[in-house]
């Protein structure tokens, strides 16, 4: 009996959307009376994306997907999964709004998934399992978040906002998601956000220790389970709450006896994987995939067949180590001018940032709030914005 060859499933297209505004981390340091080197060198952060009230996880997620999807894709998508921890509703999934905004064929499943920054990685796994049984289907996975810790808190310098959209299908043109993976769950309180709180409660130093310990223990298990080691990989990407933690992560994988040349090769690639994260900040669920996008678009030493180790971590905590294999001609399906998007953003002063931070949707007695004349909508480069709330219903508008 002929054994059916396993189909290859993975990332066929990848898009990224961020708000128009950013704060220079040095301005934050001045505003908070901190030495700028604490943020610039200590966290290796340089800027962070700031979302106005007219951009939320729905508008950003739909905008990221709109960049990559064509009519044919929209006909073939059978499932939309949004990973987020900045949800706009306790019942209705953001994926349902996004399904409508993108005009995806109606016979699709649309859901939202949550486990802190890990959600989108679980979504990729579900997408892969679905396509294994439905070979011609595509799944749209979106990782969308707005990270807000609060003014003058230790986490403030690690905020960010943005969304990654990935089209998952068979014979992908960017990267195959391989079967080897190891997950780990630890019931810990390192970072959490109770329903009554606008901001997370964070045990910052404990969280960084857990992130690193989860990485080393999960990677050890992975090496034993699959009889692999560093030599099986060409590069690594990490969840990046701030780039310096990624640097600690890669250093923890490079065992003491690793040759200097190999160490430098991994470190050089690591630095290309943080180019975007340094300028966006933590985007929670999308952060690992922004590192991947940054690596693939900024590194010249990768080729088809190379294996990329991926470390996903969500506080609470769940983590996963898995890997991707780069597809033939992957570069042709990426951009080589994305940094232009960063350069055309508007820089905020610390005062403007604080005003934007505190702006909220304020409803009148009928549950209405109208942003249609807001300058944030006029200035946005994204495809979708939140235009108004009518009778407690969020209304989005396509502007591009």
CA distances from 164 to 45, 81, 269 (A): 20, 12, 21
Is 156 annotated in the active site? no
Q: Strand 307-314 vs strand 235-238: parallel, antiparallel, or unpaired?
A: parallel
Q: Is 176 helix (H, G, I), strand (E, B) or coil?
A: strand
Q: Which of the residues 5 through 44 are near ligand HMG (CB under 6 A)?
A: 35, 37-38, 41-43
Question: Should residue 150 be labelled a site residue for ligand HMG when binding is judged by CB under 6 A?
Answer: no
- The DSSP bridge partners found for residue 370 are 388
Q: How far apart are CA 120 and CA 287, in angstroms?
A: 10
The radius of gyration of the chain from alpha carbons, rounded to an integer in Å, stands at: 20
| Binding to ligand HMG in span 193-212, by CB under 6 A | 202, 204-205, 207-208, 211
Binding residue (CB under 6 A) for ligand HMG from 76, 121, 158, 234: 158
Residue 184, both tokens: 């780990």
Question: Among the candidate windows 9-17, 133-141, 301-309, 310-318, which touches ligand HMG by CB under 6 A?
Answer: 310-318
Residues in the chain: 400
227 labelled ligand-binding: no
Least separation in angstroms between residue 213's CB and ligand HMG is 11
Q: Of residues 102-131, which lie at the interface with ligand HMG (CB under 6 A)?
A: 116-117
Q: Is 299 a catalytic residue?
A: no
Least distance CB 204 / ligand HMG (angstroms): 2
Q: For residue 263, report the phi and psi dihedrals to the nearest 5 degrees.
A: -55, -50
Contact 97, 56 (CB under 8 A): no
Which position among 239, 297, 299, 319 bears the catalytic label? 239
Contact between 46 and 278 under an 8 Å Cβ cutoff? The reply is yes
Q: What are phi and psi of 124, to 5 degrees?
A: -60, -40
C-alpha to C-alpha distances, 19 to 56, 92, 97, nearest whole angstrom:
9, 23, 19
Strand partners, 16: 164
Q: Is 160 in the site for ligand HMG (CB under 6 A)?
A: no
Least distance to ligand HMG, CB of residue 11, Å: 21
393 carries a ligand binding annotation: no
Site string for ligand HMG, 282-301 (x = CB under 6 A): x-x-----------------
**Residues of each annotated binding site for (3S)-3-hydroxy-3-methylglutaryl-CoA:** 149, 248, 282
Binding interface with ligand HMG (CB under 6 A): 35, 37-38, 41-43, 85, 116-117, 154-155, 157-158, 190-191, 202, 204-205, 207-208, 211, 239, 241-242, 244-245, 282, 284, 313-315
* Residues with a known catalytic role: 85, 117, 239
**Residues of each annotated binding site:** 149, 248, 282
């Amino acid at each position: 009996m002929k054994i059916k060859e396993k189909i290859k499933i993975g990332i066929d297209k990848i898009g990224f959307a961020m708000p128009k505004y950013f704060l220079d981390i040095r301005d934050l340091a001045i505003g908070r009376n901190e030495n700028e080197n604490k943020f610039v060198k200590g966290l290796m952060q340089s800027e962070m994306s700031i979302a106005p009230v007219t951009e939320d996880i729905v508008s950003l997620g739909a905008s990221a997907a709109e960049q990559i999807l064509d009519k044919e894709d929209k006909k073939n998508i059978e499932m939309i999964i949004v990973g987020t921890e900045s949800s706009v509703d306790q019942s209705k999934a953001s994926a349902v709004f996004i399904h409508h905004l993108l005009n995806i064929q109606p016979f699709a499943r649309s859901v939202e998934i949550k486990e802190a920054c890990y959600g989108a990685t679980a979504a990729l796994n579900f997408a892969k399992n679905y396509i294994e049984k439905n070979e011609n289907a595509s799944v749209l996975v979106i990782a969308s978040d707005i990270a807000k810790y609060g003014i003058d808190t230790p986490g403030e310098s690690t905020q960010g906002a943005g969304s990654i959209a990935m089209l998952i299908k068979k014979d992908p043109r960017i990267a195959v998601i391989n079967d080897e993976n190891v997950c780990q769950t630890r019931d810990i309180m390192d970072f959490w956000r109770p329903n009554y709180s606008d901001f997370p409660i964070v045990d910052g130093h404990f969280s960084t220790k857990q992130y690193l310990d989860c990485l080393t223990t999960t990677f050890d298990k992975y090496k034993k389970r699959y009889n692999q080691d560093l030599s099986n990989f060409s590069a690594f990407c990490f969840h990046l709450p701030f780039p310096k933690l990624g640097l600690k992560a890669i250093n923890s994988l490079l065992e003491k006896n690793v040759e200097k040349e190999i160490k430098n090769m991994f470190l050089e690639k690591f630095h290309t994987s943080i180019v975007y994260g340094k300028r966006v900040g933590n985007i929670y669920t999308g952060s690992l995939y922004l590192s991947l996008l940054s690596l693939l678009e900024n590194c010249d030493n990768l080729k088809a067949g190379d294996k990329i180790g991926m470390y996903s971590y969500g506080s609470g905590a769940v983590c996963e180590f898995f890997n991707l294999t780069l597809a033939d001609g992957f570069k042709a399906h990426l951009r080589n001018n994305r940094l232009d998007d960063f350069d055309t953003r508007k820089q905020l002063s610390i005062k403007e940032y604080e005003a934007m931070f505190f702006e909220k949707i304020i409803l009148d007695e009928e549950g209405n709030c109208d942003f249609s004349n807001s300058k944030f909508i006029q200035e946005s480069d994204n495809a979708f914005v939140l235009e108004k709330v009518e009778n407690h219903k969020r209304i989005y508008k396509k502007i591009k």
